[in-house]
Amino acid sequence: MFDNLRNKWRMDREREERKQAVYDTIKSGSEQQVKDAVSALYTKDMDDSDKGWAIKLAIDRQNVDVFRTLMAVINNPNQLVTYTANSYSYKFSPIDYALNERRTHDIALFLATDPRTEIEGRMLDDAKKNGMQGVASMLAKRIAEMRRDEADKLDREAAGVKPVAVTAPAEPVNDSNLNPGESWALMSKTSIAHVTSSEAIGRKLTEIFNFESRERVLITENLKTGAENMGKPEAFDTLTEGSIKAAEAMLRQLNAEAGRKTFTL
């Protein structure tokens, strides 16, 4: 019996050591090291609490590339962050934690543009309050889209029309096909965001392509100061055809419903 207990204690200790090694890698390791460490441990040793703690550490680090790498493995933008500090228990969604506790713009933006992220109206107020104008813009568009969908549903119910099933969105873009610091994210059924970030020049550029209004909006951010500048909407007619076609291709890939539409370029 004692041999069994000792063996169990040893296995538990080794499991905790493996988890701690993953946490340490998230705090300071490279993107590839984080991916390798989490992938090796994820399926057998990490429960929901462990995943939430890993997400918290990645947000605390405030490196969007490391966070994106971690989330590609965990694959749940709504995995709760839970922890106890000073005798108090805390529970946050990742976007709430990024918006309010750490106030990290890039990670909040990444989560806000993931169509799977569950959002609430108060998050828009939080983004505005904390000076995250780019995040606020994306949240406002998503909330407006949600309200339009709700209005459409109520209209159908009032008219006695059954809703039409919509094919689920495609899988997220494969990061291996993108340049370092580049990402695409679906904002609504008809709009998509293209984000490029360069530590070398200390700037980040977010292009929001809206295929309903046929306009692009540019948001630039100083990575050192966090200062943002949002440009005026530009008509697609003033842009290069290649940039619009690339945005349209990504929109079709990320949104199966958009894939059935024909856009005027």
pTM for the model stands at 0.58
Could you tell me if 119 and 208 lie in one domain?
Answer: no
The answer to whether the CB of 160 falls within 8 A of the CB of 243 is no
263 domain-assigned: no
DSSP string, 97-147: IIIIIS--HHHHHHHHT-TTS---HHHHHHHHHTT-HHHHHHHHHHHHHHH
Full domain range(s) for residue 211: 167-256
- For 74-122, write each residue's pLDDT tens digit: 889 999 998 887 778 889 999 999 999 889 999 999 999 888 899 998 9
At 200-225, the pLDDT tens digits run 778 888 899 988 888 998 888 888 77
Domain total of the chain = 2
Residues 120 and 27 both lie in one domain: yes
